[in-house]
Chain A
């Protein structure tokens, strides 16, 4: 453990921590737009600059590691003046339609601007109409709102290792795009939405933006990885999905199926919610006791090796384990397979 002083307060931090992490852990707010706990430090937005005694320039808290006896000031006039210029520059190149923006009240740019007391625009608008990539069925990429923090491209590189989105061109002409500057749906993008989750503004937003009234934590039913997720509920319907950090299996991450495929699947009118039994050539709803009775009765008419079991990828690993145990010890067959192998 190291001891340092932030804004006159003694703070302890672990070796290797950044100044930003140490401050956050001590409950000291330092504004930032490009830092993300899952991503490598970037140092691009320049909002987390601080003053460190004995250091020449103003370093960024997100890229500076703590050292014992370090004296940090996060709120000096010089620091805040530079931060205000950064926000002035960002909002001069960003639409001013907060009230009707889907990210209103959830926008990190708005939050930082408010923190710095910015109530008016000081610089001429530089923004011109930029194209919107609407090709993806689950989310929209609107370059007008993009502040080029690169959280999306870094996520696509460091978290998902797909590298579908990258920064193309350079300087003021930089933009988030794909190979050949093609729409997302024509790229190698897997639509996992990890970038959408990390976008601080309204550049990458889900197409469905209704806010849930309650949340339920559960395990994703799509495969055996066992990702934990928070289902957002409103009016007894699942309307959103968020990865849960409570599970080591996914640590907050989800894939396209889990993130965007749950609500449609769960609420689909054709989804089977009760067992069906064919009576007089018509499938009819039944209860589990009836269904299991029929299965028991029919299975007992076959010898062990005449039976094969195919397990489902939509079961959890634990459920699949039970299925193979059941096949081997109860049914007495080794004819067991799994649909994910096909």
Chain B
């Protein structure tokens, strides 16, 4: 369930400076709400409650309004993602070429559903509507690397390369 994640104490002092330097680039104009949210998420990896509140104050909006916009768009993450973000493309071309079973297999390997993060914060799983690399269907993206023409076996191998701790074995 979506709620609001708060900053951990250790990053709080730095956060204010970081946020201020982002806001410095924007006019106090409602039209900048989404670009600001995008920039903040780009810097912090997600949108902590404190950031949404500060953006609301900056743009003279209510915090609920900012939250309402943040929860409308799938790009915005309200909780931090895992170290590796695995995205499975669910576009039509990918679907026709087996992305549903690819996704099921990755869910099984990671033990999480799309939108979730593993307990060790190693992987987050997401689906994406279409990345437009349809000719390579089915497509999987890990962080910024695009993997085309995936089979379940290849996906397992690829996932294995993104583990900080290679000792703990990935489910076959």
Contact = CB atoms under 8 A, between A and B. Distances in A.
Interface string B63-78: 1111110011000000
B151 to A, nearest CB: 32
Contacts of B63: 179-180, 188
23 contacts: A163-B61, A163-B64, A163-B65, A165-B64, A166-B64, A167-B68, A168-B2, A168-B67, A168-B71, A169-B2, A169-B72, A177-B64, A178-B64, A178-B67, A179-B62, A179-B63, A179-B66, A180-B63, A181-B1, A181-B2, A181-B3, A181-B67, A188-B63
Interface in B1-28: 1-4
Contacts of A86: none
A268 interface: no
Q: What is the predominant secondary structure among interface residues of chain A facing chain B?
A: loop
A164 B66 CA distance: 11
Given A168-B71, A169-B72, A170-B72, A179 B2 contact: no
Interface of B: 1-4, 49, 52-53, 61-68, 71-72
Nearest to A131: B1
Contacts, number: 51
Which DSSP category, helix, strand, loop or mixed, fits chain B's interface?
helix
Nearest to B72: A170
A156 to B, nearest CB: 8
A189 to B, nearest CB: 9
A162 interface: yes
Interface of A: 162-170, 177-182, 187-188
A150 to B, nearest CB: 11
A167 B67 CA distance: 9
Contacts of B68: 166-168
Contacts of B65: 163, 166
Chain A to chain B: the 4 pairs with minimum beta-carbon distance, closest first? A163-B62, A166-B68, A180-B4, A179-B63
A170 B71 contact: yes
B16 to A, nearest CB: 19
Contacts of B71: 168-170
Contact of B62 (A164, A168, A177, A180): A164
Given A180-B3, A181-B2, A162 B72 contact: no
Contacts of B72: 169-170
B67 A179 contact: yes
Nearest to B68: A166
Given A166-B65, A168-B68, A188-B62, A180 B1 contact: no
A289 to B, nearest CB: 53
B62 A162 contact: yes
Nearest to B66: A179
Nearest to B4: A180
Q: Most chain-B CB neighbours within 10 Å: which of A166, A169, A188?
A: A166
Given A164-B62, A169-B72, A179 B52 contact: yes
Given A169-B71, A169-B72, A170-B71, A188 B64 contact: yes
A189 B4 CA distance: 18
A180 B71 CA distance: 10
Contacts of A166: 62, 64-65, 67-68
Contacts of A188: 62-64
A169 B1 CA distance: 11
Contacts of B4: 179-182
Contacts of B2: 168-169, 181
Nearest to A166: B68
